[in-house]
Structures are given as structure tokens and as C-alpha cells.
Structure 1
Amino acid sequence: MEGKWPLTVLYSLYYEFSKRYPHSRITGMKQETACTKIELLFRMFNYTLGEDTFKKGLRIFLESRKFKTFSGDDIWNALNTAAQQDKKISDWVDIKTVAKSWIDKDRLPLVNVLRHYDNNTAVVTQKVYLRERPHDVPEADTMSWWLPVVVTKECNLKAGKIVPPAWMKEKSALVINDVPDKDKFLIINPEEIAPYPVNYDQDNWNLLSNFLQSDKRTMIPELTRAKLLHDAWNLAYAGELSFVTAFNMTLFLKNERHHLVWDPVFTMIDHLGRHICQCLHGKFQAYVRVLLSPLYEELVKDEKEDEEPWRKNLRSLTKTFLCQAGYKPCIRDAQDQFSKWMQAKNPDEGNPLSNQCICPVFKWGTMKEWEFGLQRVINFPPSRKQSERTYLLKTLAGCPEAEEKINRLLNITLLQGHANFTETDAFLIFSMLTGSATGYTTLFNFLCNNWDVLREKYISRTNLWDNLITSATSQFKTEEGLELVTQLYVSHQGQFGSAEHIIEKSMRNIRVEAEWSAQNLPVIEAWLDNYLASSDVKDDKFINM
């Protein structure tokens, strides 16, 4: 996994367990995430008890239960025996109790660290980590965990060893003594030893940001650098941290080249890009271009045939996100490749270009290029793999910035009812349009402008009708969006049929998101304005927004 474990599984766990309703969409995920959690607990105990004690505990378990049935408790009890024999835990800590506090909940904790700089102490508290709004989760106030609290200080970074943890009891605060002076940072839970994000007071975040921008940056291991970046962005997204702090934590990336540290960046660009309003997209895309273009140009310059897989993957990801953000060299290259397909004698036999080139063309290219792609979907031969058609349709719907392209697709599929498009295709189109402000805003306007026709045609097909209303109304994030959806509801009250409760739920959720936007969007915009004004990257390689 090229060093990406446990980041890959851990981040998925963070996102799933911070939702209002974990596993609500895919119940089959529950077993998989339960196994992942156990996997991460084994890793946690391997760090906190020490590798030798951890192995000793497993040997005790294997010897005592060989040729016999066993339960999970037998494993935890064996680890506890080894830990007590080796004096790795206090008498009041029980490994089974610790493990159960994690296993029994489909949630993860958020740890808050408040430093008291006058007496060199810090108070550590915990609460349920909730990322998806609103945070009105039942019993959230009663949930708590047994936590290993491992502390790394700026003054002992060179040691590189994991210090035995303090154990934080359920529902209790933990006071850490001997905290560094006010000009030195501390890090809790380095290396993602336990599966929880950490929030600090503003001064400690500032110390971390400044250190990461210095030449000493690599003294903090790459997995911990990735954690600090990932925690900051996700805490801001969840409303726990200012976006000024979160964006400041990305400033060191101009000198960062380790792929593990970059790994969470692409996810967060995607998440925030989907969440912010259309009014900020131009500035956010400019930020992405300034952030990624130096890395990409360096990766292209040093490209080799026998290079490591992680390097190829990092180049590919960087190119994909730069293309989405309007990086001209990428757009031109994609259009050159696309033209070969357009000039082919039999274009329906297959596309001669990589999938990576298709989205940039549909997003930034001409209407003629996009229309060519639409005709390939309409004329798609049954002899070819249907997955290729699905990918093409997804990009036709999800990539365009121009409303003209989206309206054309909606006209031909929903109004004209073209025979080559199925109900499943409609679901796919709706899903892709919810991924961008341009997409769901265009879909909403299309619904408003064609209300009578669409209602008459689809209200009896409740799955399709409900999906249309959900996709068109649920994704707005601002007060202006709330006004639009409310106006639609008032204008057609009583006409929504099976989707009446859907639009009512949309309005409730948008109201919560609008509060988040009112609080955060001005902060984000001010930071982006300042960042772009101080950037020395030339604009000639960027699409004008």
C-alpha cells in the first residue's frame, strides 16, 4: 500500500463515524468498518504496550486457546495479562475495558487540548467527533472512550520514540504536566496511534504551522504531518476550528514533497470544493492551481520510466485536480487527445484516449466537444463494455461548468425522454449533478422552469420523482439557496406528492448549512484574497474564471 496504511482505512472511518447516521446508506459497510476498527485497535495496542509485550500477549492467547473455541474477550484478557506482567499499564487500566469502549460504538472521539501557558500544563478533554451537520446526535453527551494520550514535544522530536501513554478514563479530563514553554508546540496522538483527531488552542496551532513552514519540518514524521493537516481541515469543516487556521496549515505544502502528506490534501480539496458556494469557486480553484502547479511541474520534469508507483500516482492525482481547476497546459493536452477521437472514422468503436482526458474537455472545452461525447453515449454499441458508457455519462453530467451543457442533457433525457436513456441513467445524472454548485443549481432551475411538464410526467414514478426533488433541492448551503428552495415549496405546496417530506427536510438541512456558510464563507474568502494577492504564480497557464 506504499506506506498509506493506516491512512486509507482510518480516514474512511473518520468520515463514516462522523456522519449523523453512520452506515445509513450502505448497511453492508458496517461489518467492514467493525473489522477495520479492530485492526486499528491492534495497532494502537502494539504502539502503546510496545511490540514485545503485544507479541507476548498474542502468544499467551494462542497457547491458552489452541484447539479450543475462543471469543474476542480471550484476546483482550491475554494482552492485559502480558501488559500487567511487563508493567506496561497501571492496575486501574484494563485492556478489555479499553477495547470495549471503542468496539461498542459506531462513533469516534474528538480530543481537545487546551494549554495553560502560565504554568506549563494542558487539559485534555474528549467528546463525540461529528463532522456532518446538524450535530444533534442522540446520546452524544453520554459517549466517551478510554484513550491513550501520547504526547510529542518540540524539544524531543529527535528521540523519535513513542513515549508510553497516559490513559484517559471515560468522562474524565486529563491534566498533562511538564508541557513545553509557550514558544514550543506539543502534539497529541502522533502517528495516528489511536483513531481520533485532535484540536488545540490557537497558539499551539500557530506554533505547529510556523514550524512546518521552517527547514525543520521533516523532524515531524510524515504520517504525523499528514495527521496535522487532515485534522485541521476536518475540524474546520466540522465547525470546530477557524478556516484561517486550517488554510494556514497548508502553507508548508509549497516545500512538501512526501506523497503521504499530500494524500489527504486531494480529499479535502474535493470535499471543500463541493461544499462552498458557486460565488467562491473561482477563487478556490485559483488557490488549488497555485498550490498544486509547482508540485506537478516538478513531477513532470523528473519523470522516469522506472520510477516508484507512488510517484506516478501523485503525478496523476495532481494533474487531475489541476485540470479540474483550469490549468491550461492540462486542458490543451486533453483537447489534443480528444481531437483524435473526434477525427476517427468510427468513433463509436472506442475512445483512443485515457479517461483522465475526458472530464477536462467536458468541463472547459467547447459545446461541440461536449456534444460529440453525448452522441457517443446515444450511439453506444451493445458490444462494448457498459462500464465505459457509464463513465462517459458520469463525466458528461458531472464535469461541465457551463449550464448550457447540463440543460442540453436534462432536455434530452427528462423532457424528450430519449429512448437510449434509462431510468437508471437519470438516477446517475442526478447523482453527478449534486457534486457541484453549478450542477445542482442548474438542475434546480430546470425543475422550476419545467415544473408542470416534469410533475405530470414523473410524479407517478415515485422513485424517480423523489430522487429528482432530493437532488435538485438538498445541496444548497447558503441563505440565498434556502430562499430559492422555500420559494419553490411555497409556489407548489401540496403538489410534491411523495416528495413533500423530502423538500421539507431539504429546507431544514439548508437552514443549518446556511448558518455554517454565513460564519465560514467570509473567512474563507478573505483568506483566499490575501493568499492570491501575495502569490507570485503567473496567470498565463490558468483558465480565466
Structure 2
Amino acid sequence: MSGYYVSSYVKKKAVKYLSITQFEPTDARAAFPCFDEPDFKATFNITLGHCSYLNALSNMPLKERIPMLKHEGWTWSMFETTELMPTYLVAFSVNDFQGYAKHTSCNQKRVKFTTWAREASIREQLKYATEIGPRLLNYYEQLFDIKYPLPKMDQLAVPDFSAGAMENWGLITYREAALFYAPDVSSEADKQRVTNIIAHELAHQWFGNLVTMSWWDDLWLNEGFATYIATLGMEKMCCKWNAYEEESLDNMLAILSTDAYCSTRPIHQPVTTANQIGGLFDPITYRKGAVIIRMMHMFIGDMAFRLGLNNYLERHAYGNAKQEDLWQALTQIAHDHSSLPKDLCLQTIMDSWTLQKGYPLIKVRRHYANKCAVISQSRFQLQPEQQPSARQDQLFEQKRQYCWFVPISYTSELAHNFNSTAPSRKFGCVARQKASRCRCGCVICLENEWIILNVQLTAPYRVDYDSCNWRLLIDALKGLDFQQIHVLNRAQLIDDAMTLAWTGQRSYALALELLSYLSQEREYMPWRAALDQFLPIYRIVRQTDQYEIFQKFMLCLIEPIYKQLEGMREDSKQRHHVVHKTLIASWACRLQHADCVKSAMDYWQQLISARAANPVPPDLRAVVYCTAMRNGKAKDWQLMWELYCNSTVASEQRLMLQALGCTPKECLLQRYVQLIFSRKSLIRKQDALLVLGSIIRNEIGYRIAKQYYMQHFQLLYKYFWPNIRELASLLVHFSQQMSTEQELQQLTVLSSSRLLQRHTSRSCQRALEQAELNLAWRKERLLQFIGCLNT
């Protein structure tokens, strides 16, 4: 699924073929001779030869079709000359798809916006993408104050596609599940996902296409911006989703976890080979890039941010840029609007976030008699410095002194200002030395009241308060007016307390007492943070004799919110947050909550006996399907497989593939693994990781998949080639389930393969680090954690 390749689908029992491109990052050279680097921009004149009854698509509109001489029934399709662009954005396809067009007026210019898909995908599934795309395009033109430069925009749904989507200029390609939305079948979460992906790819038409990074080490200028700008687009399209805050929290939680490993990397990462470039398409580029852009947006203000982006895009339009060019353009505007001190430039601030890996832990130590607080910083790692690893790279990292320019925003019990996210103190590289702390002005004066740093979770850092301030915060959360603390900061307090307890820097007694306030919490984001923290603990504890204690505790914890969200009852009027309801229900059924399991099995029985429409509410299908497989019989699994084979809705197919991996029956799981790689598999190659991931998350499936990986490594290597990153990512999935010495030894053997090390050494290091952390937690903190549950 790279270069210029063939995809296929079945239509009336006949196999139909289409051609499609995927050139990013360095596969245009597989289709035509070229200098395949982002700063070699050129115009392209593209001509495709094909059977006359087929469509031909490319970046630009069709100029003319000419019959081929001496080849009856064949045609040359010639396209208009492209704008200046890099090779990785060139795209073309020959297919027999249907197009659904809609014209949109962008800056007084009519742009033809067409969504293409195979005929089997009925018009109804394309309607949403056809409508939301032009609206997003119009919004971005207003946001950037720069018109979309091409006369058309095509969206193409490809049956076989390795990525989620690809931002080719004027011809965006998508995996079908990323573009299709069936109103009566797809869930509200599916709708949000489709919106997010379309918003991301359309944002690329400016960030990446109009202005392209000079080299791949600045890939985050493309992907980080598209990820962040997509949250603004989603918020504009549907404010009821609360997309800006929830997507921002999602990115933040992911980075606070991912970037705390020794094996992480800087956002700006030098690369010299194609394999290294491929390794940049990871959460650091996408999510951390988005997180620091949001941080910058919030401390320079919306006006300076918008005008600064316009300045950057206008200055480098149709050319290339480095991150220094972005900082220069934004600094100029921020100084003009007095939103950044004249003695500071953004490059000084932002280089500390892009050129070094990880993020800081801010320690707040209050002197209550003097009514002040002193803050300091050090790099936060899940493997603390007092527990050095034997690996030399980690020993080296522990000797290095990290320092960030941190935007310090805070509020207190009396001030109670969660609306102002601007830094309350001047920026400063808050070093460990006391003199440096004072010189940077990071001493906070206040009364004997609670204090919270990082208002609305603006910047990627953790905060550890002194014990007394933690106690004041716990008392505030357990009080009746706990909602006076902003919902993002409630999520932050949960995430920080539980993570500090995981590393042993704070006790589980403190963390669990803080979490006890959840009995009165009704908002999604704090629950999301809490359950994210419990997931790695669940994976470890379920392998031990203490699981029943954990299960009982978790059921008591979620019982109030499960009832408040009306359990598994269909919410036709959407009185409750759909994603929240799904999250709580999935945990309830995973923990064998009696009502949840019974309701899910009742829905499943209704589905089995249904002769028409699926009776399972779309928003609960992921929970129902997995629970039915977990608690059902072999015939239920076979029925789910048949439902998958007959489904024509891509999002529904994904749910079913994941649910099939939930069965505890070894024979079925072994069969499922083999189905992935069978010669005539009905599981598309693009979904192989989805299926394997669902099997590995299963306690029994994990062992089966691990054994298959060990015994059939050469087969898997050949299957995934050249996307060896996907093969290595399975090691990370395995490591999340590991917590014993024997498993760590097995992982060491698996990750030592020269074939993997050659392409994906960072993934191998991450997997080993994860397994070591799990093992250390099980040895050193499991009993402490269980003891706190008992009390």
C-alpha cells in the first residue's frame, strides 16, 4: 500500500480493481523518476492512460480526454498543470467510482468539492463527508485569511489504504472507515472521528501543501498544526461535542504518558534515511506538536496567533519553511500586539520544547508562614533517577540537565480565576538552583489556601505540590462546590496524583483519597483521566490473586456514574454525553457488572432474532459486541464473523473485527489469528493491526498472539514489509500486558532481531522499558496499592 499500487473490491461477486498512490514520505520515486525531497518543489503535468469507461483523477481538474490512437476503447486523460508542490503530494487514480459533488463559494471563488467512492458504498454514507468538507474549507479560509488556491477538491475513499488519510493537494485519499458515516448505523463517536480526520486533512492544504517543511526533521510543522487546527475546526462545526477541550485533553494525556519514557525523542528530530523518516509519524509529531501549539496559542492570545499564522503562510506560500521561520513570523506579530515581552522571542521559548525530549515536573513547595510558594523543575520520567537502568543511553540521559521555558499560570482558592490562561509570571528557565528560581521570578505569594498551577492544562508539564497543598485540594474536591475547580484541572489533578503514585513519588493513599471524590463527579474528562490511569493497573492486577479486590473496588467506584448515565439504556434524546456513556459502560462490562452484562446479552439476543434493522443502539455497539463475544458461545462468534462478512458499513466492520478478539476461547482466537494471514483472507491488510491489537488486549489472546509472533516471525516480516514499524508496534502492545521476569526475557529475545533493530530500534526500546516498568510496579507497589483498596 505504498507508491503507485492496486486496490480492489468485490462488486456483484466480481473483483474490481483501481489504482491509487501513496507517496509520503519517499515513495514517489517508486512511480516516476524524481528528486523525492520536500524542498524540491515543481509543477507537474500529469497524463493518465486508461480504459475509456473508467475515471481518472489527479491533483488538478481534468483538462481534456483524448482517444488513444490505435487502441480502441482507451483514453488519455490530461490534467491542468499543478501549483508548485513537493513530490509526496502528487496523487492520481484510475477507478470506476461514483462522485458526489457540491460547489462551495470560497472567497468569491466557486470550488468544486467532490467525494468519490465505490458504488457499493451507498450515497447516504457519503452525504456527511460531502457536506462537512466544504464547511471546513470555508472556515479555514476565514481563519487563515488566505483563499484555498485550487479550483477543486476531491475526497477519495480507498478500500485498501495503510494510513487513515493522506492530504494530497486537491485529491485527499482516505481509508473508507475514515470517510463514511451511515446515520442509522454509525455512532456519534464515528461522526466525530470522520469530522476530525477531514478537518485534519483540509488543514494540511495550508500547513504542508501551501507551505511545506524544508526537511522531514520539521514534519511536526505539518502534522502538529493539522492536529491542532482540526480541533478548532471541529469546535466550529459542532459546539455540543466540546471538541476543543476534549481533543486537547486527549492529546495532553497521550503525551504526558508517551513522552515520560526514556526512549522518547524530541519533536525536532534529525533524520537522514527513509526508515528514520517513517519513524517520525508518531504521537510526538502529531500530539505533542499539537499540544505545544495550543500552549503557544493560549499565551500569545488569539489575535496574535491568527495574524501570526497569516504572516507565516503569506511569507512562505508555495515555498518551504523551518520552525525558525514560524517563530520569527509569530514573534513579530506578538511584539506588535504586546502579547509577548519585547525582550523575549518565541524561538527562545519554543526551542526548549522542540529541541529536547520529555517534559518537566514542576515542584511547588510552599512556605505557609511566609505566605509564599517556590517552584522548581526537573525532567519527569516514569523511571525515576534513583532507579537507573542498565542501558547506557538512559544513564547518559540521567546526567543531562534539562530545562524548559515554562508558562506559569496559576490560581488559588480566593482568586479562583480559571478563565485566564496567560502566564502569571514572566517566562523563565526555572532551574534547580535557588538563585535561578528567584532570578526568574517564579516565587508566588498567597494566603493559606489551595493553589493550582497550569490553568486549564495549558502546557505539557506535571505538578507535584507539597503534602499540605495536596490535602487542601483533596478537601476542595470532596466538598460540595468541587466544580468551582475547572474540569480540565480536575482531570489534571487525577492524572498527576495517580502517575506520581505509580512512580512512588507520592503514595497511593493520597491518590486514591483524591479519587474518592469521583462519587460525585459527572463530567467526562475527569473520568477519562482516572480510567486511563487504572488501565495499566488492570492489565497487571488481572494476572494476580488480588484481582477480586481490584474488581470490587472498581465496581464500587463506577456504580454511581453508571446509574447516573442510565447504564446500558438507549439514550435516544442524547441527554448524556455519548462518549462518556460508552466509556463507563465498557468498563462496567469489562468488570462483569451484572446489569451491564445482562443488558448487553439481551441486546445481542435481540440482534440474533432481528430480521430487519439492527436493534442495538449505535453508540453502544462496541460494548455490546465485545461483551457478547466475551460471554457468548462459539456459535455467537461465528455469527459475528458472518455479520462482518456481510456488512457494507466500514465503521461497523471495524467494531466487529475488534469484538471478535474479545472471546476467551483459545480455539477461536487461534483461528482468528490464522484468518488474518490466510491466502484468501476476508480481513484486509490495512486492518491486520486492528485485529491483532484486539487479540493482544485479551488476557488469553495475548499469549496466543505472542506465541504466533515468535513462531512465525519471518512470515510476519514478509507480510508487513515495507511497513516494519507496524510489526514493531506489536511489541509495544505485548509489553503492555507483561509484568513478570519470564515475559521480560521473552520480549528481550523478540526485540533483539536485527531485522527489527535496523528499522525500529526506538519501538523496541519503548517495549522493553514498558515491560520493565510493569515488572517494577508489580514488585514494589502492587501490595501497597491493594492495601489502600482494602482500607
**TM value normalised by structure 2:** 0.53
Contact preservation (8 Å) 1:112, 1:199: yes
Q: 2:464 aligns with which of 192, 195, 199?
A: 199
Q: Which residue of 2 aligns with 1:534?
A: none
Deviation at 1:333, TM superposition (A): 1.4
Stretch moving more, 505-514 or 146-155: 505-514
Would you say 1:262 and 2:527 are equivalent positions? yes
Q: 1:7 aligns with which of 243, 246, 249?
A: 249
**In structure 2, C-alpha distance between the alignment counterparts of 1:282 and 1:527, rounded to whole Å:** 14
**In structure 1, C-alpha distance between the alignment counterparts of 2:351 and 2:484, rounded to whole Å:** 35
Question: Pairwise mapping of residues 233-272 of structure 1 onto structure 2 (< 5 A)?
Answer: 233-272=498-537
Would you say 1:516 and 2:777 are equivalent positions? yes
User: Which secondary structure state, in structure 2, belongs to the residue aligned with residue 187 of structure 1?
Assistant: strand
Contact preservation (8 Å) 2:252, 2:288: no
Question: Pairwise mapping of residues 457-496 of structure 1 onto structure 2 (< 5 A)?
Answer: 462=717, 470=731, 474-478=735-739, 481-483=740-742, 486=745
Would you say 1:136 and 2:387 are equivalent positions? no
Stretch moving more, 373-382 or 62-71: 62-71
Stretch moving more, 106-115 or 155-164: 155-164
Q: Which residue of 2 aligns with 1:391?
A: 655
User: Which secondary structure state, in structure 1, belongs to the residue aligned with residue 375 of structure 2?
Assistant: strand
C-alpha spacing 1:432/1:415, structure 2 compared with 1 (3 Å): closer
Q: Which residue of 2 aligns with 1:433?
A: 695
**In structure 2, C-alpha distance between the alignment counterparts of 1:507 and 1:62, rounded to whole Å:** 41
Question: Pairwise mapping of residues 266-281 of structure 1 onto structure 2 (< 5 A)?
Answer: 266-279=531-544, 280-281=546-547
State the AA in 2 paired with 1:433: I
Higher RCO, 1 or 2 (CA under 8 Å, sep at least 6)?
Answer: 1
**In structure 2, C-alpha distance between the alignment counterparts of 1:162 and 1:69, rounded to whole Å:** 30
Q: Which residue of 2 aligns with 1:208?
A: 473
Would you say 1:293 and 2:548 are equivalent positions? no
The CA RMSD measured in Å over matched residues stands at 4.5
Q: 2:450 aligns with which of 185, 192, 197?
A: 185
**In structure 2, C-alpha distance between the alignment counterparts of 1:38 and 1:489, rounded to whole Å:** 34
Deviation at 1:259, TM superposition (A): 3.2
Q: 2:787 aligns with which of 526, 530, 536?
A: 526
Contact preservation (8 Å) 1:77, 1:95: no
Question: Pairwise mapping of residues 80-99 of structure 1 onto structure 2 (< 5 A)?
Answer: 80-83=335-338, 89=341, 93-99=344-350
Gaps of 5+ in 1: 531-545
Contact preservation (8 Å) 1:229, 1:246: yes
**In structure 2, C-alpha distance between the alignment counterparts of 1:499 and 1:148, rounded to whole Å:** 40
**In structure 2, C-alpha distance between the alignment counterparts of 1:306 and 1:429, rounded to whole Å:** 33
Deviation at 1:525, TM superposition (A): 0.8
C-alpha spacing 1:227/1:38, structure 2 compared with 1 (3 Å): closer
Gaps of 5+ in 2: 1-234, 236-240, 268-275, 318-324, 721-726
Stretch moving more, 315-324 or 374-383: 374-383
Q: Percent identity of the aligned residues?
A: 19
C-alpha spacing 1:473/1:255, structure 2 compared with 1 (3 Å): closer
State the AA in 2 paired with 1:360: T
Deviation at 1:138, TM superposition (A): 5.6
C-alpha spacing 1:42/1:159, structure 2 compared with 1 (3 Å): closer
C-alpha spacing 1:137/1:221, structure 2 compared with 1 (3 Å): farther
**In structure 1, C-alpha distance between the alignment counterparts of 2:502 and 2:260, rounded to whole Å:** 11
**In structure 2, C-alpha distance between the alignment counterparts of 1:201 and 1:510, rounded to whole Å:** 31
**In structure 2, C-alpha distance between the alignment counterparts of 1:304 and 1:436, rounded to whole Å:** 29
Question: Pairwise mapping of residues 1-150 of structure 1 onto structure 2 (< 5 A)?
Answer: 1=235, 2-3=241-242, 4-5=244-245, 6-19=248-261, 20-22=263-265, 27-29=280-282, 31-33=285-287, 35-37=289-291, 39-46=293-300, 51=301, 55=303, 71-72=325-326, 73-83=328-338, 89=341, 93-131=344-382, 136=394, 139=397, 141-150=400-409
Which has the larger share of helix?
1
Q: Which residue of 1 aligns with 2:43?
A: none
Stretch moving more, 312-321 or 417-426: 417-426
Deviation at 1:242, TM superposition (A): 2.9
**In structure 2, C-alpha distance between the alignment counterparts of 1:178 and 1:470, rounded to whole Å:** 45
**In structure 2, C-alpha distance between the alignment counterparts of 1:196 and 1:213, rounded to whole Å:** 25
Contact preservation (8 Å) 1:179, 1:186: no
Which has the larger share of strand?
2
C-alpha spacing 1:407/1:131, structure 2 compared with 1 (3 Å): farther
**In structure 2, C-alpha distance between the alignment counterparts of 1:100 and 1:117, rounded to whole Å:** 35
User: Which secondary structure state, in structure 2, belongs to the residue aligned with residue 125 of structure 1?
Assistant: strand
**In structure 2, C-alpha distance between the alignment counterparts of 1:304 and 1:379, rounded to whole Å:** 24
State the AA in 1 paired with 2:403: S
User: Which secondary structure state, in structure 2, belongs to the residue aligned with residue 249 of structure 1?
Assistant: helix
User: What per-residue deviation string (whole Å, max 9, x for no partner) do you get for residues 53-89 of structure 1?
Assistant: x636866x699899755932121133134338xxx74
User: Which secondary structure state, in structure 1, belongs to the residue aligned with residue 363 of structure 2?
Assistant: strand
**In structure 1, C-alpha distance between the alignment counterparts of 2:305 and 2:628, rounded to whole Å:** 57
User: Which secondary structure state, in structure 2, belongs to the residue aligned with residue 13 of structure 1?
Assistant: helix
Deviation at 1:252, TM superposition (A): 0.9
**In structure 2, C-alpha distance between the alignment counterparts of 1:498 and 1:74, rounded to whole Å:** 43
User: Which secondary structure state, in structure 2, belongs to the residue aligned with residue 166 of structure 1?
Assistant: coil
Contact preservation (8 Å) 2:409, 2:422: yes
C-alpha spacing 1:97/1:435, structure 2 compared with 1 (3 Å): same
C-alpha spacing 1:313/1:380, structure 2 compared with 1 (3 Å): closer
User: Which secondary structure state, in structure 1, belongs to the residue aligned with residue 426 of structure 2?
Assistant: strand
Aligned residues: 495
User: Which secondary structure state, in structure 2, belongs to the residue aligned with residue 156 of structure 1?
Assistant: coil
User: Which secondary structure state, in structure 2, belongs to the residue aligned with residue 149 of structure 1?
Assistant: coil
Deviation at 1:264, TM superposition (A): 2.3
Q: Which residue of 2 aligns with 1:362?
A: 629
User: Which secondary structure state, in structure 1, belongs to the residue aligned with residue 606 of structure 2?
Assistant: helix
**In structure 2, C-alpha distance between the alignment counterparts of 1:359 and 1:426, rounded to whole Å:** 18
Deviation at 1:251, TM superposition (A): 1.0
Contact preservation (8 Å) 2:589, 2:596: yes
User: What per-residue deviation string (whole Å, max 9, x for no partner) do you get for residues 298-338 of structure 1?
Assistant: 23299975445x63332232222212221111211111121
Deviation at 1:359, TM superposition (A): 0.9
C-alpha spacing 1:21/1:436, structure 2 compared with 1 (3 Å): farther
Would you say 1:224 and 2:467 are equivalent positions? no
User: What per-residue deviation string (whole Å, max 9, x for no partner) do you get for residues 267-307 of structure 1?
Assistant: 33334433545224433333332122212212329997544
User: What per-residue deviation string (whole Å, max 9, x for no partner) do you get for residues 511-532 of structure 1?
Assistant: 44322221221121112222xx
State the AA in 2 paired with 1:42: M
**TM value normalised by structure 1:** 0.74
User: What per-residue deviation string (whole Å, max 9, x for no partner) do you get for residues 411-449 of structure 1?
Assistant: 5755999776569577555422332544424655x66xx
Contact preservation (8 Å) 1:394, 1:432: yes
Contact preservation (8 Å) 1:184, 1:207: yes
State the AA in 2 paired with 1:127: S
Deviation at 1:254, TM superposition (A): 0.8
C-alpha spacing 1:305/1:333, structure 2 compared with 1 (3 Å): closer
**In structure 2, C-alpha distance between the alignment counterparts of 1:163 and 1:418, rounded to whole Å:** 57
**In structure 2, C-alpha distance between the alignment counterparts of 1:379 and 1:326, rounded to whole Å:** 25
**In structure 1, C-alpha distance between the alignment counterparts of 2:677 and 2:330, rounded to whole Å:** 60
Q: Which residue of 1 aligns with 2:45?
A: none
